Amino acid sequence: MTITDINTKYKKYPKYKDSGVEWLGEIPEEWKAIKMKYLFRDISVKDRADETLLSVTQDKGVVPRSWVENRMVMPSGNLESFKFIEKGDFSISLRSFEGGLEYCHHNGIISPAYTVLKKDKELNEFYYKFLFKSKSFISEMQTSVVGIREGKNISYPILSYSLIPVPCYDQQKAIANFLDDKTAKIDQAMAQKQKLIALLKERKQILIQNVVTGKVVYNEKENAWTAPTHTIDSGVEWIGKIPKGWEVKKLKHLIKKSFSGGTPSTDKLDFWDGGIPWISSVDVKKDLLEVTTREISQKGLLHSSSNIAPKGSLVFVTRSGILQHTFALSILGRDMAINQDIKCLIFSHLIFSSYFQKLIIGNNSKILVETRQQAATVESINMELFFNLFIPLPQIHKQQKIVDYIETQSAKIDKAIALQEQQIEKLKEYKSVLIDSAVTGKIKIC
């Protein structure tokens, strides 16, 4: 179903009236538009240190910390100062200007930095749970933002003057039940597509893994990729058997040159924006490196430890607390400078950099897990272990055949993945418009 189907499938209310505010527009004639301060009051109940410690999340609402997969750092402050919140209440979180108000699923305590709202009249909290996460309401919340950049927050004294819709209780309940049913089905459809994406990515991984380790080779007689006829033991557990004619060599014997770079002084303005692409860890996120976020000047290059990675070389992140250690081919039409967290590899005539990249991609969990080390603050690659890795090595002309086959087959899988991702985005948009339409009375539910 498309978004336009919402307006055609569902009926409208018999009559509408102007709500008096732009974000709501027209509302059903029998609905009311009332200021929040008459419906929800800001409460602050403290000295409940024995209550369950809760987390305020954008995707799950206000829930016990044990429900959150990535546990947050336990607070070191005085729990007596934490605010008590009951199931059915709402919280204004530090990121509410982005994701709306959070519904509380469990009695407990939350940080005093949050605002607790309790419904003051006979309202259906589940209707307002949907309203407070709707795009329309979030847009209205922008008028109540105080602070700038990372200090943004929602001021309830300002927000409390916002008009919000108030259907009769039975309509609130019907809308909430309708949205519970419809959004659950949409979420299930998205989950199925996410599962399919995971399977496609796994298929791609296995494909690459099998081809770069010789489990599948090109058979010229049959003009097809099949299991090799003759194999030998590689002597390396993760590689297993390899086709006869392949070799196993240490990586350091296949590298002509390797080096890292540096960062020009940020205090020197003439060291920057000089037309030389400069690679940092934030740039190395994909297999092909086409653009960089920053550039340095020739002067910046000369007066720093930054080095030039030539076009076609392989660059990768050697340490990072956030990113994976992605291996990217530099394919920009010119050379690139690199910083201190980047390593550049220039290979000998025995191996294509693109083949080695595919080898890493297909066996990342097996290869890099052996070379990673945890430093005091970030994870890094132990370069001595890395250079001593044994890798399977087919003849040079077969490497190009392998790369071409992988890229052809991967493109087909990537296309299927992209299609599923597009459909997920359409479902998300449909879900968002459906919620907005229902809670603001643009479509009639009962």
CA-CA distance, 343 to 380, in Å (whole number)? 12
* DSSP-assigned letters across all residues of 266-334: TT-GGGEEEEEEEE-TTT--SSEE---SEEE-HHHHHTSS-EEEPTT-EEEESEESSS---EEEE-SSS
Helix or strand holding residue 379 (H, E): strand 379-381
Is 134 found in the same domain as 63?
Answer: yes
CA-CA distance, 320 to 379, in Å (whole number)? 6
Is 173 found in the same domain as 88?
Answer: yes
Supply the CATH number for residue 366's domain: 3.90.220.20
Within 10 angstroms of residue 12's Cβ, the number of other Cβ atoms is 12
What's the predicted TM-score (pTM) here? Answer: 0.83
Is 359 found in the same domain as 254?
Answer: yes
pLDDT tens digits, 281-308: 888 888 888 788 899 999 999 999 999 9
Query: How far, CA to CA in Å, does 368 sit from each of 325, 354, 382, 410?
Result: 8, 17, 9, 22
Is 335 found in the same domain as 251?
Answer: yes
In the chain, how many domains are there? Answer: 2
Query: How far, CA to CA in Å, does 292 sit from each of 271, 302, 331, 332?
Result: 16, 19, 11, 9
pLDDT tens digits, 346-356: 999 999 999 99
Mean pLDDT of 241-259: 95
Mean pLDDT of 322-343: 74
CA-CA distance, 324 to 387, in Å (whole number)? 19
pLDDT tens digits, 366-390: 776 777 765 545 678 888 988 999 9
What lies within 8 Å, CB to CB, of 245 at 6+ separation is 394, 395
Q: Evaluate whether residue 410 is within a structural domain.
A: no
Is 294 found in the same domain as 253?
Answer: yes
Of the candidates 129, 190, 198, 196, the residue with the CA atom closest to the CA atom of residue 164: 129
Mean pLDDT of 146-171: 86
What lies within 8 Å, CB to CB, of 100 at 6+ separation is 132, 133, 134, 137, 138, 141
pLDDT tens digits, 99-120: 999 999 999 999 999 999 999 8
Is 383 found in the same domain as 430?
Answer: no
What lies within 8 Å, CB to CB, of 62 at 6+ separation is 54, 55, 56, 85, 89, 91, 102, 103, 104, 105, 106, 108, 110
pLDDT of residue 47: 92
Q: Evaluate whether residue 90 is within a structural domain.
A: yes
Mean pLDDT of 53-79: 79
Cα 272 to chain centroid, rounded: 30
Query: What's the token pair of residue 7?
Result: 């307006």
Is 167 found in the same domain as 105?
Answer: yes
**Longest alpha-carbon distance in the chain:** 82
Task: Compute the mean pLDDT over every residue in the chain, rounded to the nearest whole number.
Answer: 89
pLDDT of residue 145: 83
Helix or strand holding residue 48 (H, E): none
Q: Evaluate whether residue 219 is within a structural domain.
A: no
Is 353 found in the same domain as 302?
Answer: yes
pLDDT of residue 143: 85
Q: Evaluate whether residue 136 is within a structural domain.
A: yes
pLDDT of residue 373: 64
Mean pLDDT of 36-60: 93
> pLDDT band for position 3 (50/70/90)?
low
pLDDT tens digits, 193-231: 999 999 999 999 999 999 999 999 999 888 999 999 999
pLDDT of residue 362: 86
State residue 59 phi and psi, 5-degree precision.
-95, -25
Q: Evaluate whether residue 277 is within a structural domain.
A: yes
> CA angle, 332 as apex, 403 and 359 as ends, to 5°?
25
Is 28 found in the same domain as 99?
Answer: yes
Is 433 found in the same domain as 369?
Answer: no
Q: Evaluate whether residue 59 is within a structural domain.
A: yes
pLDDT of residue 6: 82
Q: Evaluate whether residue 148 is within a structural domain.
A: yes
CA-CA distance, 311 to 327, in Å (whole number)? 14
Task: Tell whether the model's pLDDT for residue 317 goes beyond 90.
Answer: no
Q: What is the CA radius of gyration of the chain?
A: 29
> pLDDT band for position 94 (50/70/90)?
confident
pLDDT tens digits, 392-439: 999 999 999 999 999 999 999 999 999 999 999 999 999 999 999 999
Q: Evaluate whether residue 327 is within a structural domain.
A: yes
Is 157 found in the same domain as 62?
Answer: yes
Task: Tell whether the model's pLDDT for residue 325 goes beyond 70.
Answer: no
Give the range of the structural domain holding residue 379, as residue numbers without chain letter: 247-393
Of the candidates 446, 428, 444, 426, the residue with the CA atom closest to the CA atom of residue 7: 444
Within 10 angstroms of residue 207's Cβ, the number of other Cβ atoms is 18
Is 177 found in the same domain as 265?
Answer: no
Task: Tell whether the model's pLDDT for residue 241 goes beyond 90.
Answer: yes
